[in-house]
């Protein structure tokens, strides 16, 4: 049962029309927290201290922010931090010049359950109020976050084909979704991880993707809509010698946009118990890929998850 301080009302909604709005997906004790018999510190707004604010991929507009929970002096050590893969958290900040607190959702790409730490990748939006605030954050400053918000629950008991499709920085929240399958050697789900980005410069967490590629049940492909290639062809792939020089060992890439035909070509041939598709990106991307996935895999809506 939710405690009064954990309940949500209209003032908890950021108003950006999130697919998984906090009003429909109230933060609630997760299965892991219940099993551990511990309190999840983030169920109502909790204080997190920033440990670092680092530029990512050499791009000043991309920041990796690392936070740790700040316990109150009299607090017992009976808590954990649980943000399940595919869930996001809400940041609430009181900014000068804003009458009401500003709310923005962010999707952690790494969480430490016991140390109560998490990390997010933020793409700063020019002129955006939360972006300006985050860009200037100094280590040790304290922020308020609440969550977890979302509805995706991974089922490791019946092996499926899982297509995880991400746009740009939204690759970040898909990393824990992949890791939870690969970290469990009894999990027989097969993953196709498809990244849609401008070009190779905009592929984030490339080293992590190469680590994933060592597992039998993981394959990825990069869709590089604006990658330049010396061969002159419009849609070359990793077999092109020019593109090959830019790729790392085990990387697969196509110089085109992902569509239903490309998706169908990614179909996993192993005999699995059905398929699901998880889509991370802005709402236009989610809508468009959802339609392409329905055509390519003949799926119904309940097998498609929008983060």
Ligand X SMILES: Cc1cc2nc3c(=O)[nH]c(=O)nc-3n(C[C@H](O)[C@H](O)[C@H](O)COP(=O)(O)OP(=O)(O)OC[C@H]3O[C@@H](n4cnc5c(N)ncnc54)[C@H](O)[C@@H]3O)c2cc1C
Q: Quick check: 30 binds ligand X (CB under 6 A)?
A: no
The 3-state DSSP class for residue 275 equals strand
Residue whose CB is nearest to ligand X in the complex, by number: 128
Closest CA to 114 of 86, 85, 78: 78
Q: How far is the CB of 61 from ligand X (least distance, A)?
A: 10
CB half-sphere exposure, 121, CA atoms < 13 A: 17
Task: State CA 177 to chain mean position distance.
Answer: 8
The 3-state DSSP class for residue 277 equals strand
Select the residue interacting with ligand X from 105, 237, 247, 299 (CB under 6 A): 105
Which residue stretch of 69-77, 102-110, 201-209, 252-260 sits at the interface with ligand X (rule: CB under 6 A)?
Answer: 102-110
Site for ligand X in 270-299 (CB under 6 A): 282
Beta carbon nearer to ligand X, 20 or 217: 20
- Are the C-beta atoms of residues 37 and 87 closer than 8 Å to each other? no
Q: Quick check: 16 binds ligand X (CB under 6 A)?
A: yes
Beta carbon nearer to ligand X, 98 or 228: 98
Site for ligand X in 125-144 (CB under 6 A): 125, 127-131
Beta carbon nearer to ligand X, 16 or 184: 16
Beta carbon nearer to ligand X, 159 or 281: 281
Distance (Å, whole) CA 86 – CA 108: 9
Q: Quick check: 258 binds ligand X (CB under 6 A)?
A: no
Q: Quick check: 151 binds ligand X (CB under 6 A)?
A: no
- Are the C-beta atoms of residues 44 and 2 closer than 8 Å to each other? no
Distance (Å, whole) CA 81 – CA 227: 40
Structure tokens at 280: 């991370």
Q: Quick check: 193 binds ligand X (CB under 6 A)?
A: no
Distance (Å, whole) CA 145 – CA 27: 12
Site for ligand X in 73-92 (CB under 6 A): 88
- Are the C-beta atoms of residues 56 and 204 closer than 8 Å to each other? yes
Select the residue interacting with ligand X from 165, 169, 195, 276 (CB under 6 A): 169
Which residue stretch of 34-42, 103-111, 209-217, 260-268 sits at the interface with ligand X (rule: CB under 6 A)?
Answer: 103-111
Site size toward ligand X (CB under 6 A) is 20
Task: State CA 136 to chain mean position distance.
Answer: 23
Beta carbon nearer to ligand X, 175 or 209: 175
Distance (Å, whole) CA 3 – CA 30: 15
Distance (Å, whole) CA 296 – CA 121: 31
Q: Quick check: 104 binds ligand X (CB under 6 A)?
A: yes
Q: Quick check: 158 binds ligand X (CB under 6 A)?
A: no
Beta carbon nearer to ligand X, 175 or 296: 175
Residues 6+ apart with CB under 8 A from 80: 32, 33, 36, 38, 39, 40, 41, 113, 114, 116
Residues that bind ligand X in the complex, under the rule CB under 6 A: 16, 18, 88, 104-107, 120-123, 125, 127-131, 169, 172, 282
């Amino acid at each position: 049962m939710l405690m009064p301080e954990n309940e949500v009302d209209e003032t908890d909604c950021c108003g950006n029309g999130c697919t998984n709005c906090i009003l429909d997906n109230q933060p609630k004790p997760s299965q892991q927290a219940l099993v551990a018999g511990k309190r999840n510190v983030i169920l109502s707004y909790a204080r997190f201290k920033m440990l670092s604010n680092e530029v990512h991929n050499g791009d000043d507009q991309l920041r990796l922010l690392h936070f740790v929970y700040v316990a109150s002096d009299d607090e017992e050590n009976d808590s954990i931090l649980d943000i399940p893969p595919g869930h996001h958290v809400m940041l609430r900040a009181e900014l000068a010049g804003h009458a009401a607190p500003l709310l923005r959702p962010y999707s952690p790409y790494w969480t430490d359950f016991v140390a109560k730490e998490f990390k997010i990748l933020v793409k700063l939006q020019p002129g955006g109020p939360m972006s300006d605030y985050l860009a200037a954050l100094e280590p040790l400053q304290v922020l308020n976050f609440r969550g977890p918000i979302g509805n995706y629950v991974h089922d490791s008991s019946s092996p499926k084909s899982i297509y995880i499709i991400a746009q740009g920085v939204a690759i970040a929240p898909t990393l824990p979704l992949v890791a939870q399958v690969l970290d469990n050697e009894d999990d027989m789900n097969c993953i196709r991880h498809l990244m849609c980005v401008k070009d190779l410069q905009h592929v984030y967490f490339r080293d992590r993707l190469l680590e994933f590629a060592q597992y039998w049940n993981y394959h990825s492909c990069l869709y590089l809509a604006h990658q330049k290639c010396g061969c002159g062809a419009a849609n070359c792939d990793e077999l092109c010698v020019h593109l090959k020089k830019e790729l790392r060992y085990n990387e697969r890439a196509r110089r085109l946009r992902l569509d239903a035909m490309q998706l169908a070509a990614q179909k996993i041939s192993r005999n699995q118990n059905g398929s699901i598709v998880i889509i991370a990106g802005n709402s236009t991307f989610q809508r468009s890929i959802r339609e392409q996935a329905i055509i390519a895999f003949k799926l119904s809506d309940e097998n498609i998850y929008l983060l």
